[in-house]
Amino acid sequence: MVKLLSKFIPKVATIRKTVIETYNIKTVYLEVPHDFEKPMPGQFNELYVRGAGEIPISISDITEEGLIAHTIRFVGTVTKMFTELKEGDKVGVRGPYGNGWPLSELRGKDILIVAGGVGLAPLRPVIREVERNRSLYGKLMILYGARTPRDLLYRYEYSRYERIPDSEVLITVDRGDENWTGHVGVVTTLIPKVDIDPNNTIALVCGPEIMMRFTVKDLMARGLKGNQIYLSLERRMRCGVGLCGHCQVGPLFVCTEGPVFSYETIKRYFWVEQI
């Protein structure tokens, strides 16, 4: 008899901490087994809720103690199960998967982060990395937008981002409320507000596909080239290891060749309807 040690057997992780981020978003911090590979910023894990299903969720933080954070919006069957999960509960975890952000290419460069909604989650480890190794990178610009003030992620740590030397943090919402005194408008309306050096900047973009399209257009108009813009794509990454087929964008497997692509790599498919 041969044991079917497939790539789909999860490791068991324990939830050590949860943070309610918004009315429909929660971050869970997982203690993973010692032999679990340390994730890189921009990678994702497959999280398994026993009996309910498995979902790909990007890694939104790795703490000093080695806890791996996942920021989860309650939109589908499995993510909604996370409303009930609390400290001490167990989940299955497989990963880390995907290529992650091109950290080595960011060395010495200005970093322009453009994020929409829950798209800030996979970029948070980049911000942490810049904070930790400040001298390795140039200027840090964070442009972040959400639908309403209620939808903003990690509001408690924007001042921490601002304290990173040589950083700029601009926040916007599509629609304000009675208490909102900040900028109103989609995230691309923040792009003219920052000083971008087109010769020395790498842009990292994550958000809804429509937001990324407008962002690419505006960044190109500001003089960035296709190989200076990186996008993290969302697809139905069922297996995470290039086997199940669901995440294909044209010939590209988002789970193994992405989720981060330079615009140069995917420009042929990026604008094609329902590719």
Phi, psi for 243 (deg, rounded to 5):
-115, -35
Determine the Cα–Cα distance for residues 224 and 26; give it in Å rounded to an integer: 34
Cβ closest to other proteins, residue 201 vs residue 215: 215
CA nearest 124: which of 53, 19, 253? 19
| Binds other proteins by CB under 8 A, chosen from 90, 109, 213, 222 | 90
Does 180 bind other proteins (CB under 8 A)? Our answer is no
Nearer to other proteins, 30 or 62 (CB): 30
Beta strands in 50-200 (DSSP E): 53-62, 68-73, 90-97, 110-116, 140-146, 167-173, 183-184
CA-nearest of 68, 92, 72 to 22 is 72
* Part in contact with other proteins (CB under 8 A); list of ranges 127-135, 152-160, 161-169, 264-272: 264-272
Within a 13 Å sphere around the CA of 66, how many CA atoms are in the beta-carbon half? 10
86 binds other proteins (CB under 8 A): no
Closer to other proteins by CB, 84 or 178: give it: 84
Give the shortest CB-90-to-other proteins separation in angstroms.
5
The residue from 21, 54, 110, 151 that contacts other proteins (CB under 8 A) is 54
Q: In Å, what is the CA distance from 17 to each residue of 20, 98, 131, 210?
A: 10, 25, 23, 33
Q: Binder to other proteins among 131, 194, 220, 269 (CB under 8 A)?
A: 269
Q: Of 2, 23, 159, 181, which one interacts with other proteins (CB under 8 A)?
A: 2
Specify the stretch interacting with other proteins by CB under 8 A; choose among 63-71, 97-105, 154-162, 248-256: 248-256
With binding defined as CB under 8 A, does residue 238 bind other proteins?
yes
Contact (CB, 8 A) for 23 and 84: no
Measured CA to CA, the distance from residue 81 to residue 103 in angstroms comes to 33
List the structure tokens of 48: 């398994």
Q: Tell me which residue has tokens 């209620």.
A: 150
102 binding other proteins? (CB under 8 A): no
84 binds other proteins (CB under 8 A): no
Please choose, out of 58-66, 94-102, 120-128, 229-237, the segment that lies near other proteins by the rule CB under 8 A. 229-237
Structure tokens at 209: 């596909």
Considering the rule CB under 8 A, would residue 147 count as an interface residue with other proteins? no
Binding mask 194-223 for other proteins (x = CB under 8 A): ---------------x--------------
Q: Please say which residue, 136 or 244, places its beta carbon nearer to other proteins.
A: 244
> What is the bridge-based pairing of β-strands 260-262 and 229-232?
antiparallel
Integer Cα distance of 265 and 218 in angstroms? 18
Q: Is 5 in the site for other proteins (CB under 8 A)?
A: yes
Residues contributing to the site for other proteins (CB under 8 A): 1-10, 12, 48, 50-54, 75-77, 79, 90, 92, 209, 234-236, 238-239, 241-246, 248, 250-251, 253, 268-269, 272-275
